Every structure is written in structure tokens, then in C-alpha cells.
Amino acid sequence: MDTVHDLGGRQGFRPIPNVAEDDSALFSDEWKARTWAIAMMSMKKLTTDRTGWTLDWYRHVLERLPPDAYLGLDYFEKWILAMMVTSVDEGVAGVQEFVDGRASSRTFEYEAPRPAVEVSPTGARFKAGDKIVARRDVATMHTRLAGYVRGRPGVVDSVNGPQPLPDEKAVGTIRREQTYVVRFRMSDLWPEAGDSADSLRIDMWDSYLEPA
Amino acid sequence: MSSYDSDKVAKLHRELHSHLPPESALRLRALETVLVEKGFLAADAVDKWLDDYSENVGPMNGAKVIARAWTDPKFAERLAKHAAEAFSEIVPNVRKDYPLVAVFNTPEIHNVVVCTLCSCYPVGILGMSPSWYKSTEYRARVVRDPRGVLAELGTDLPDTVEVTVWDSTSDRRYMVVPERPKGTDGWTEEDLAGLVTRNAMIGTMRDLSPKQEVG
């Protein structure tokens, strides 16, 4: 889905905020630190308990925030909502319990735990130096093929080993595909780049690419 | 189990966002209280986790490794080839299979890192990223106007330096290795590490002048 999270190259944004932040501070507020800790521990538990939860499914949960909330909320505010939604989706708690701020019962039960399913990997089609074009259309629920490179020509910079394809991992299927770093010239991405020698390198899965 | 039901979670977001109190700290407290009362998380788990995190993880890990790379060319080669293994030589609790990539600045090339689709960052080694790194402004703009964004963050790049923007969309995590500043011959690794900033490891800072912050 092309939701509002796919921000690369969007114009009209303000100057970068909080640039004077204390370089040594990991978290600017206690609630942010606790949110992060809860998220990390919850993710580990859901993985250990084999509920089928995957990081790509979680990313999609974040992406389904209402667009105005996605753009308007702080990073950790988004994570609080996404962790609550995840807890409800997994059967750990109910919406009303979070709204009340307390649990109505002291136990929970996952509905029919089911681990992510591993399927056979797909082969690599490209090598370093190959010219490619990024796929133009994406029909999957979740993808890591950024909108701003779609349909653009690039060159395979390096071949970096297989990783589960996010589009399938987001729905509980592990299919390993070769990944690459692909290099795009700024002038092939942005009309105002002119003859700039600057470039962009981005991680891509095999099925995101077509031979040029 | 996970439903993988996109519309279901979108609906849950709307319900929760419209019924929860607006204050972030209250929302966090509701999340923590319910998960602990349900027995999903242990009561003292959050404090323990945070103590451990602040002890083992942070920008100092990257600074130490970069200082070693500046003083030991063989180590720099290992860092370039397999970053996590090189890290584990200096910071033993770093997993050797952490998918970290070190990209090196040179007099001709400047590297800068972003994750346009969320906010991927080597949090397991360098700790939490700066809040501007996670902002929609940075994610939208740096892939399109890296020089303008760097100028806002205090780094003016000459035209003779080529910019490479790294958009981290997969499991791989990137760390920029800045150049060793001039005027630091004979410095100890500890003093050199004191020059390395978190922003330099993202690439929004290029020149680490010895005048700025000697530890």
C-alpha cells in the first residue's frame, strides 16, 4: 500500500527540527525511553511465543496510522499506539483496557499461535555492475520498495546476501531473496539535480528490480 | 496470533487514538500498566531493560571503534569488510552477525544515512537515534536535497566533495566513519574517541575539529 509513511523526496516540509539536541542524550524524555523498552521486550516475547508476529507486520501496523496522525505525532507516540494495536491484535488486551488504563482481567491468551512459515528461497538474478530499473508498481500490503526510486534506472553496486522479502514477511511468510545495494544518480531521481555527481544508494530485494 | 489484517489495525488505531487521553505520558502509563497487569511483561522488566541498555549501548561504542580505525589501518580494513566482527573486538557484547555496514568518508566522498520508510538505525550498538533523525522532515528531504539539509545541520559541503546518501530500507544498518581530523597526531585513542559525535556517525557532520570537544 502506498501510505503516507513513504516520505523520501516529498516536498514542502519545514527545516529539520531539534537540531540542537544534546548529542549525548539517548532519550529526551522518560516516557520515550520506557516506550522503547516496552516495544523491544514485547517484540522479543511475541517472537519467542511464535505468534506469527514479524517486524514487517509491525511496520505495516505503524503505516496504518491515520495519515494526519502519522505526520503529526512524535515517533514514540506512534509507537505507543502501534504497541497497543499490536496487543489487541494478538489477543493480549482489549481496546477498553487501554482506554481505562487498567486490565479487566489478570490473564491473556493468544488466539491460536502460529509461527511464520518458511518457504523456498528465490535465486539471484543480478550481479554488481548490472543496469536495472526499479519496478514501477507494487500491489502488496507492505513493501520496502521506496516510491521515489520506482521506474528509475540504477546500477547494482553490491550483492549482499539473502533476506526475507518484507512484502511476504509482513503477512507471515519467510521467503529469502537476494538483496543488493543499488546506486541511483541524483539526476535520474530529481528534476532539479541537473548534472550533479551526487548519488543515492538504497537496499533492494531481487524482485524489486527488472533488467534495464 | 498476528491477524495480518490491514483494515483491522487501521480501525484499531482510530478507536484508540480518539478514546485515549491525549498526553503521551498517560498513554505510555496505560500501555505499561495493562501489559504488566496482564502478565505479558514482568513488573520490573522495563527498569531492568533500560539499565542494561544505557550501560551497554550508545554512541561511545561507535566512537571507540572509529578511534581505533584511525590509529590502526589493519583494523580499519576489517571494519570495512565486516563491521560487526570488528566492533566485537572492541565492544565484546556486540553480536558478530549484527548486519552493520561501515561506510568511510574520504576527501572526495561524503556519506550520509537515512531511513525514508521508517527510522532504521543501528540502535542495538549506537543506542537510540537523535530525534531529528526520526523526523518526517529529515526522512523526506535528505534524499532529495542532502546539501541543503547538511547546511541546516551546520555542515557546508564544497562542490568538490561528492555526496552519497544511503537509504537504509533492509535489515542492514549503516554507520559513517568520518575522516580523522588534522592536528591530532600522537593523540590517544581515548582522546580521539572524544572527538567523534553521533551526528558524524550519521553523516550530518563532516569535520571533527579538535578544538570542539576534547574529552
B135 as an active site residue: the answer is: no
Q: Mark whether A8 and A103 lie in a shared domain.
A: yes
pLDDT at B78 over 90: yes
Residue A67 has what pLDDT?
A: 98
- Which of A51, A84, A108 finishes a domain? A108
B118-163 pLDDT, tens digit each:
999 999 999 999 999 999 999 999 999 999 999 999 999 999 999 9
Is the residue at A145 inside a domain? yes
User: Shortest CA distance to B49 belongs to which of A34, A14, A211, A181?
Assistant: A34
Q: How far lies A5's CA from each of A19, A143, B191, in Å?
A: 22, 11, 41
In terms of residues, how long is chain A?
A: 212
Chain B residues touching residue A66 (CB < 8 angstroms): 10, 13-14, 17
Q: Mark whether A100 and A66 lie in a shared domain.
A: yes
- Scanning every residue of chain A, which has its alpha carbon at the shortest distance from the alpha carbon of B172? A203
pLDDT at A38 over 60: yes
* CA end-to-end distance (rounded Å), chain A: 25
Q: Mark whether A84 and A133 lie in a shared domain.
A: no
Please report which confidence band the pLDDT of residue A23 belongs to, taking 50, 70 and 90 as the band edges.
Answer: low
| Residue A161 belongs to domain with CATH number | 2.30.30.50
Judged by a CB distance cut-off of 8 A, whether residue A132 touches chain B is no
Is the residue at A114 inside a domain? no
Q: Mark whether A82 and A126 lie in a shared domain.
A: no
The answer to which of A61-65, B51-55, B182-186 has the lowest mean pLDDT is B51-55
- Which of A67, A87, A108 finishes a domain? A108
Q: Mark whether A148 and A207 lie in a shared domain.
A: yes
Is the residue at A113 inside a domain? no
- Scanning every residue of chain A, which has its alpha carbon at the shortest distance from the alpha carbon of B63? A24
Tell me which residue range forms the domain holding A68.
1-108
**Residues of B numbered 138-167 whose beta carbons fall under 8 angstroms of chain A's beta carbons: which are they?**
138-141, 143-144, 146-147, 149, 152-154, 162-167
Judge whether B176 and A46 are in contact, CB under 8 Å: no
Please report which confidence band the pLDDT of residue A78 belongs to, taking 50, 70 and 90 as the band edges.
Answer: very high
Is the residue at A76 inside a domain? yes
What is the ipTM for the molecules in this complex?
A: 0.96
